[in-house]
Amino acid sequence: MTPEFVLGLFLILVGTIAVAFPREKTYLARLINLEIPGWGVLLVMLSYNEALALLTFGGVTTLTVYLFARVLQKKEGAL
């Protein structure tokens, strides 16, 4: 097991807990905490193939930020 793989698994675990149980229960805090397991997934994929990891990380990060930004806009408009 490479150090990238172990660190990636640790970040996935910690990030998932941070998203599920945030200190501040705001959508922005959850969006920021969602990046932690994203970096963990990147490190796990880097232990296998660099090109695959970077392309997947770029695509997934773009989609998740867009979706959460839309959710934030709709929630702020409803208040």
Residues of the domain holding 49: 3-78
CA 18 → CA 1, 8, 10, 23, 41, distances in Å?
A: 25, 15, 12, 8, 15
Digitized pLDDT (tens) for each residue of the chain, 79 residues in all: 888 889 989 998 988 888 778 777 777 777 777 788 888 888 888 888 778 777 877 887 788 778 877 877 777 666 6
Q: pTM value?
A: 0.63
pLDDT of residue 37: 82
Domain count, the chain: 1
Number of H helices, E strands in the chain: 3, 0
